[in-house]
Amino acid sequence: MKSNSKKIRIAILGIGGIGGYLGGKLAHHYAEHDQIEIIFITRGAQLQTISEKGLEWHSNEITYRSKPHVVASNPREIGLIDILILTTKSFAAAEAIREYAHCISGDTTVLTTQNTITGRTDILPFLPEGALLMEGAIYISSSVQKPGKVVHLSGPGIWYFGTNNTFTPKGEQIAKILNYANINAQYTTNTEAVLWKKFLFASPAAVVTALFDITFAEITESQESEYLYLNLTDELMQLARGKNIPVDDQTILHNITLLTRFKGEAKSSFLLDLKRGKPTEIKALVLDVIAEAQKHQISIPYYQSAYAQLQLKYPSLTC
Ligand SMILES: NC(=O)C1=CN([C@@H]2O[C@H](COP(=O)(O)OP(=O)(O)OC[C@H]3O[C@@H](n4cnc5c(N)ncnc54)[C@H](OP(=O)(O)O)[C@@H]3O)[C@@H](O)[C@H]2O)C=CC1
Ligand SMILES: CC(C)(CO)C(=O)C(=O)O
């Protein structure tokens, strides 16, 4: 992992719920490290507050204040990056990569966390030749509660990232760096299946929690919401199979069990965005599904109807 200095330079692009969770851990654990430098790429009130006071980080009973080595939004201040953890929303990812193009070289490895089935086609065209894209999926509910404060609400926090059908020792090296910072990251050489597995969980959960305005835990508490969740998952499984993605027959059972691991008041990031009047990931979570289903001539009436109902419930719904 070469760069313009001997240190390994790790940048987190987008200090929101996920960027704050991962970046907060990295900055805390590598604060005194002389070989690893942690950079937060952020903007607005988040940039100002973290520059002044660091990032307040909460998870269960643990609280600390993380101070990265660099907090910036100016590519010149940031410099070349070895490992870029891209934690913007899916709709902002390509633009963010373009904005920080001068910080990314052919030696940079880019890791992702977006809930999307089109990440590779969205991002790869904007990376320089040689740069390695390792897509990933993280099981967690985490959000920014006010500028400078991130809270891990629930979920196991496991982050699978990697390559598809090829092995690279870089993947294992990066997993070790993340694991030393207490991040439960696992390198995989099977990202296509991993991303779909997460998407099969996250997309129906986002739609149902938003339509019924409920938490993850509440999905299985009413017949109506559980029925919709199961049917959306079933349609997605048909789509995955239509695309020759291997899908475990136990997916529905597995996902219902997983829902119970998101305890308490945890809401999907999609619902939180709707409630805050922010742009949402409707394209990645719903519209891309509808488009792919049309391409593969797979009928998905529950998704079609859920999209229409979402538009009625949230007239300001935007990408
Ligand atoms: N939150 C969660 O619990 C989970 C989220 N995910 C996925 O992870 C991804 C991130 O989600 P989440 O953390 O909730 O999103 P957030 O909206 O909380 O955070 C995204 C951050 O990226 C920043 N950003 C966007 N573009 C730029 C840019 N060009 N330069 C600097 N900063 C930028 C945003 O800043 P600004 O606010 O100024 O736009 C924001 O702070 C999503 O795809 C989501 O689906 C996956 C699992 C769980
Ligand atoms: C469903 C969940 C919480 C799983 O990590 C998620 O990805 C999200 O809310 O965006």
Q: Is the CB of 53 under 6 A from ligand 1?
A: no
Pocket of ligand 2 (CB under 6 A): 115, 139-141, 155, 202, 205, 268-269
Residue, of 50 and 60, whose pLDDT is higher = 50
Taking the CA of 141 as reference, the closest ligand is 1
Q: Determine the distance separating the centroid of ligand 1 and the alpha carbon of 86, expressed in angstroms.
A: 9
Q: Determine the distance separating the centroid of ligand 2 and the alpha carbon of 227, expressed in angstroms.
A: 19
Q: What is the CATH number of domain 8-189?
A: 3.40.50.720
Atom number in ligand 2 closest to CA 267: 9
Taking the CA of 111 as reference, the closest ligand is 1
Please calculate the CA angle 19-25-26 and round it to the nearest 5 degrees.
Answer: 85
The encoded tokens of residue 25 equal: 């851990």
ipTM, 2 dp: 0.98
Taking the CA of 137 as reference, the closest ligand is 1
* Residue located nearest, by CA, to atom 4 of ligand 2: 139
Model confidence pLDDT, tens digit, residues 29-43: 999 999 999 999 999
Atom number in ligand 1 closest to CA 142: 3
Q: Is the CB of 268 under 6 A from ligand 1?
A: no
Q: Determine the distance separating the centroid of ligand 2 and the alpha carbon of 155, expressed in angstroms.
A: 9
Q: Determine the distance separating the centroid of ligand 2 and the alpha carbon of 96, expressed in angstroms.
A: 21
Q: Is the CB of 280 under 6 A from ligand 1?
A: no
Q: Is the CB of 47 under 6 A from ligand 1?
A: no
Whether CATH 1.10.1040.10 fits 194-313? yes
* 170 touches 77 (CB < 8 A): no
pLDDT exceeds 70 at position 184: yes
Packing angle between helix 191-212 and helix 251-259, nearest 10 degrees?
Answer: 50
Q: Can you tell me the distance from the alpha carbon of 83 to that of 251, in angstroms, rounded to the nearest whole number? A: 32
Confidence at residue 1, expressed as pLDDT on a 0 to 100 scale: 52
Atom number in ligand 1 closest to CA 114: 43
Band of residue 112 on the pLDDT scale cut at 50, 70, 90 = very high
Q: Determine the distance separating the centroid of ligand 2 and the alpha carbon of 257, expressed in angstroms.
A: 14
Q: Can you tell me the distance from the alpha carbon of 230 to that of 165, in angstroms, rounded to the nearest whole number? A: 30
Model confidence pLDDT, tens digit, residues 207-222: 999 999 999 989 999 9
pLDDT exceeds 60 at position 13: yes
* Residue located nearest, by CA, to atom 10 of ligand 2: 269
Q: Can you tell me the distance from the alpha carbon of 307 to that of 256, in angstroms, rounded to the nearest whole number? A: 22
Mean pLDDT (the chain, rounded)? 95
Q: How is 179-210 classified by DSSP, letter by letter?
A: HHTT--EEEESBHHHHHHHHHHHHHHHHHHHH
Q: Is the CB of 99 under 6 A from ligand 1?
A: yes
CA 29 from centre of chain: 21
Model confidence pLDDT, tens digit, residues 128-164: 999 999 999 999 999 999 999 999 998 899 999 999 9
- Segment 21-26 shows an average pLDDT of 98
Q: Are strands 149-162 and 83-86 parallel, antiparallel or unpaired?
A: unpaired
Confidence at residue 210, expressed as pLDDT on a 0 to 100 scale: 97
Q: Can you tell me the distance from the alpha carbon of 212 to that of 134, in angstroms, rounded to the nearest whole number? A: 34
What residue ranges do the domains of the chain occupy? Answer: 8-189, 194-313
